[in-house]
Chains A and B, each alone.
Chain A
Amino acid sequence: MRFDSSAMIILDGAMGTMLQSAGLKPGELPELLALTNPKLLTSIHQRYAQRGADVIYANTFGANRRKLAPTGHTVEEVVTAAIRAAKAGCSWTKAKVAVDIGPLGELLAPLGTLPFEKAVSQFAEIAAAGERAGADLAVIETMTDLYEAKAALLAVKEATNLPVMVTMSFDESGRTFTGCTVASMAATLEGLGADAIGINCSLGPQQLLPLLRELCAATHLPVIAKPNAGLPDPVTGRYSLTPAAFAAAMVDIVRAGVSIVGGCCGTTPEHILALRSAVISTTPGRREIRQRSIVCTPTTPVVLDGVRVIGERINPTGKKRFQQALLENDLDYIADVAIAQEDAGAAILDVNVGYPGVDEVMMLPRVVQKLQEVTTLPLQLDSTNPEALAAALRVVNGKAAVNSVNGDPKVLAAILPVVKKYGAAVVGLTLDESGLPKTAEQRVAIARRILDAALAHGIPREDVWIDCLTLTVSAQQEQAEATLEAVRRVRQELGLQTVLGVSNISFGLPNRLLVAQTFLIRALHAGLTLPIINPNQKEMMDAVAAFRVLSGEDENCGAYVERFANAASPAPQIPNSGSRIPNLQDAIIRGLKADASRIARAALETGPALSIVENHLIPALDRVGADYEAGRAFLPQLLSAAQAAQAVFAVIQERIAASGGQSVRKGKVIIATVKGDIHDIGKNIVKTVMANYGYELLDLGRDVPPETIVEVTIRANVRLVGLSALMTTTLPAMEETVRQLQQLDNPPAIMLGGAVVTEDYAANLGCHYAKDAKAAVEIARSVLG
């Protein structure tokens, strides 16, 4: 089956609605009808085929392993029978049969507990069974989570040779339930190789029209619309649109450029007949497809139609604290670096975890998943290792960029296929196997070669970004001009996005920032669109803001005015008061983060870190803790103080990392939410408070299997383990974890907490009971000192 935006394709209508009117009880599993009453399915398919549907969706929407498990039937069995029933219903027509794949009914991690690869394998099972049974194409529909849609699409592409259509469901806000935008859907699914994409279910045709218009402009693929027959009445269950009204509304959708149309919930064979008669002689409206470069996460499409800052800080090179975090698996620190850049105005985050002793293939995807939990920014994966890139691109939610390839044919051959498969953008460095080019001319020639290679691999030119190489001006002074000239020509002659790591320019010079800022301004003027900089350097971001005003990108200077109108007044200077630490305790108690870290920084100049912790930080926390216990302070105050103390700790750790000294940590504590439980705010509150007492917290996260907790306990020789569970249904997992830990030769102390845990419950299991964060600190003190 081939797709082409100019030819109308008519899809079928609802199956569920038809089954309900044939007597299917609410809550019965409709997929089983393929085995119990295939004739009923065939008769419904037949009615759709008779009324002009070109594509028949087999009754396999929920035929996945999880839903079928309680029935004792296999996916293969049900899918095979369903395809057979569909084929029997349309064998006398030219209609094609699709294996229909709906959501698994379980949210993928991190929103739920289903791991990405498990989702891929469940989808692959359905798709492969469909292909074996003779399906002509695969349809992925009613997706609300872009990550799940990606898992399904990858599965179909990897497990079959079927063409594949993907449709997602949007609500009246113009987003899916998980917040995915139309632009992000288009960029991601087109990149991953869908043959047609569109929107189905949840709303009627009128409500979908504006979203479909947006989609028609955002993708080169044929666009699908399969709306509901209006909205259902909650009492009668009936949908509001008659066949005639539905068909009339669908004409507008076709005029907007949609070429593949059908009906979802509430539509019947009569709706499809009316639809076919109304649109069959209509030519789909001409689409104005925007040619644009874009990267995205589900909620945040970043269109590259101006200057977009790529944050460079997630990179261990020359950063001791970052190197330490990588070696210790301290993903929270890396997350903090990301958050600071997002808050400072970065649009994309470069992610580099290459460091001796770090397994990039394992680490890069882990960091990507962590970052996706805490920021909404698209990522640029900075690695030369094709395996690490593939592993990370697989778990990217949205569309990322890869940094980088160069003109060396061997590098291009290794990395471009990975970029293509996962629909990423790619940065090409203008150097090759013969080394660094000397002239602008040579750089442009390499850029052309990279572009040609990318195009040959099927990567569109909008997704090719060129880095013309910043060299250190103090070492190779004439190269600065060559770089700028190359940027100008790549932008003008090739029309590509341009990337430059800006800060390199000033290496070895005094007042580096001035040179970097000046170079940045010149590069932007030459046509640089994607500066890689440290967004925490205000002067660099100021220059970008000013440039956007002058280039007209910042319309009416709005962003510029806002930036400087809201600029904080300079921080007051704290007078140096010798060895005394004025008010550090007060600042912590009152939750004044910035003040507390400033005072601590001053104090570190004169006194040892340990005395700050012992004499100021812990007494302050104890005072708030005592107030909390006495009911004079509440959780928000306790947490405010803890966060201020954490800011002080960060200052201390930075200092220690820089001087290579020993950390002030006291003992290790594992903290985790048990298997099956995804509610972890309670655990995170405990972590926030405990971290300040000098314990080294190994936060294993949520939904943690007992085996993982045992393994880390042994490996890191941990003497205290904290477990949290919110629901009665996850208590068995808590008990199992306790059992496994207590069987160890040298079992650790265990403390239990969470809404459903009581003192008696903990005591019966031989564990400590942590009723709240303060109690957890007391337990740690008694166990670890």
Chain B
Amino acid sequence: MPLNIREALRYLGVTGEPDDALLQQAQQLSAELTSRIIPHYSWRMLPLEHSGGQLTLAGRPLPGHSAARMLDDCHQCALLICTLGAAFDLWLRQMQARDMVRAALLDALGSAYVEAACDSATEEIAARFPDMYLTDRFSPGYGDLPLTLQPALLELAGARRIGLTCTPSLLLAPQKSVTALIGLAEQPQMARIRGCQHCRMNNTCTFRKAGTTCAI
């Protein structure tokens, strides 16, 4: 599964054309990462209900405007979970003790890798429903969809089957993990997640703090 190395470098704040040495180091490490770690993902279809202004997923409320807007046209939704697994965390920890440059790179590459795995799972879902249209993929923390949903989503998704858990402070563990919702609709869906106002990093991104954007 290829991952986007430029995207990983952007996570590190590298703008413009990276120098050859850095790019080469990133490419080598990326090759090592993809051969050493297999991302695990799993998804399942769950029913959505819109009644009385309340949106529920398999009987559980999905609070907030963001989910309601995103899933407005949908009666079912794929719940996707994905993780690089604890082996990645251990490797990253060992690398931090050896070489912080490589560790920072690996950390960024890991983020890009888990995104790539989610993309691949999303394609799989799209292929299973060739007549349906998929919404953008979004996660707790997006807009006003609360992080407090995390434990319920993990339970619904059977997350233990891929070794994914969350801490009492609602952090996913292992670190490079995603829980996401993708709605299925019968009509084309507009791409809503684009630009800074929809980004999870909206208030915290180093580009915005510096007055620029990452230009995605």
Contact = CB atoms under 8 A, between A and B. Distances in A.
Contact of A729 (B43, B147, B161, B204): B147
Contacts of B83: 177
Contacts of A26: 46, 58, 156
A376 interface: yes
Given A177-B85, A202-B161, A758-B204, A639 B167 contact: no
A179 B93 contact: no
Interface string A670-693: 000001111101001100100000
A485 to B, nearest CB: 42
Contacts of A178: 85-87, 90, 163
B103 A374 contact: no
A730 B171 contact: yes
B20 interface: no
B44 interface: yes
Contacts of B85: 177-179
Nearest to A631: B15
Interface stretch (A34-42, A106-114, A344-352, A649-657): A106-114
Contact of B165 (A27, A105, A173, A728): A105
A685 B22 CA distance: 17
Given A634-B13, A681-B103, A727-B147, A111 B169 contact: no
A635 B8 CA distance: 13
Contacts of A171: 38, 40
Given A103-B160, A178-B87, A179-B90, A111 B174 contact: yes
A335 interface: yes
The secondary-structure label for the interface of chain A is loop
A103 B155 CA distance: 13
Contacts of B18: 634
A171 B43 CA distance: 17
B214 interface: no
B190 interface: no
A177 B86 contact: yes
B49 interface: no
Contacts of A339: 97-98
A375 interface: yes
Contacts of B98: 339, 374
A441 interface: no
A707 interface: no
Interface string B161-176: 1110111111101110
Contacts of B101: 591, 636, 639-640, 643
Contacts of A120: none
Nearest to B58: A26
B60 A27 contact: yes
B70 interface: no
What class of interface size applies to chain A in its complex with B?
Answer: 35 or more
B162 A636 contact: no
Contacts, number: 171
A622 interface: no
B175 to A, nearest CB: 6
B87 A177 contact: yes
Contacts of B14: 634-636
Contacts of B147: 727-729
Nearest to B60: A27
A323 interface: no
A113 B128 CA distance: 38
B215 interface: no
B100 A374 contact: no
Interface in B96-126: 96-101, 103-105, 107
A376 B94 contact: yes
Interface string B59-76: 110000000000000000
B100 A639 contact: yes
Given A635-B12, A676-B167, A727-B169, A179 B86 contact: yes
Contacts of B94: 373-376
A639 B25 CA distance: 14
B86 A373 contact: no
A729 to B, nearest CB: 4
A763 B201 CA distance: 20
6 contacts: A106-B173, A234-B43, A678-B167, A681-B104, A685-B104, A728-B147
Considering the complex of A and B, which 9 residue pairs feature the smallest CB-CB distances, nearest first? Answer: A177-B163, A676-B169, A179-B87, A374-B97, A178-B86, A112-B173, A27-B156, A729-B170, A107-B173
